[in-house]
Amino acid sequence: MVKVTMLARVMDGLPLAEGLDDGRDVQDVEYYKQQIKALFKNLSKGQNDPSRMSVESGPYIFHYIIEGPVCYLTMCDRAYPKKLAFQYLEDLKNEFERVNGNQIETAARPYAFIKFDTFIQRTKKLYQDTRTQRNISKLNDELYEVHQIMTRNVQEVLGVGEKLDQVSQMSSRLTSESRIYADKAKDLNRQALIRKWAL
């Protein structure tokens, strides 16, 4: 279940928006929000952090996406599917960029886009129950994609196996031909020595 959602500008860690009723059912919510803010500060140092990542913290996992100048982060229960968490963040990202994209760089105060909370809450409700038909469909789509990747990988491995067989056959042929070449070279050396002695 999605517990806390925050958006921040990457270059300076400035909080841009937050789900206002987030974390009411989380014990020590302020502690986790401080961890999130510390994570934003670390990301602002520009250490080439991955654009998508999950970070464990106690019974929760922070999932984030960095897209352009914004980091979109959510804190979820460990059991919450990672695919849904990232899909939730993608939905937030798409709407936030559409509505506020040209104002992000010029935001001067924390939570300048607090009105975005309405969209956060509405979207959060869609993702709360992992058993809804909509979310099951998203997970099934992901399973299909993973299945396609696995099928492709197995086929590629089989193709590599065939190529390895060809390389092995070529290696065996080269080994036998090099023995023949070595034998012929020895014969030619002997013949050259015999001619040299005969003169």
DSSP for 151-174 reads: HHHHHHHHHHHHHHHHHHHHHHHH
Whole-angstrom Cα Rg for the chain: 31
- Place 150 in a pLDDT band, splitting at 50, 70 and 90: very low
Residue ranges with strand state E in the chain: 2-9, 15-18, 52-57, 60-67, 70-77
pLDDT at 157 over 50: no
Please give the pLDDT value at position 149. Answer: 47
- Residue 49 phi/psi, 5-degree rounding, is -70, 150
Q: What is the mean pLDDT of residues 172-191?
A: 87
Percent of the chain with pLDDT over 70: 76
pTM: 0.63
User: Alpha carbon of 182 to those of 72, 173, 174, 177, 185: distances in Å?
Assistant: 67, 14, 12, 9, 5
Query: How many other CB atoms sit within 10 Å of the CB of residue 89?
Result: 24
Between 126 and 155, the higher pLDDT residue: 126
User: Alpha carbon of 187 to those of 52, 173, 182, 183, 190: distances in Å?
Assistant: 66, 21, 9, 6, 5
- Residue 8 phi/psi, 5-degree rounding, is -145, 155
Q: Interhelix angle for 82-100 vs 133-198, to 10°?
A: 100
Contact 1, 26 (CB under 8 A): no
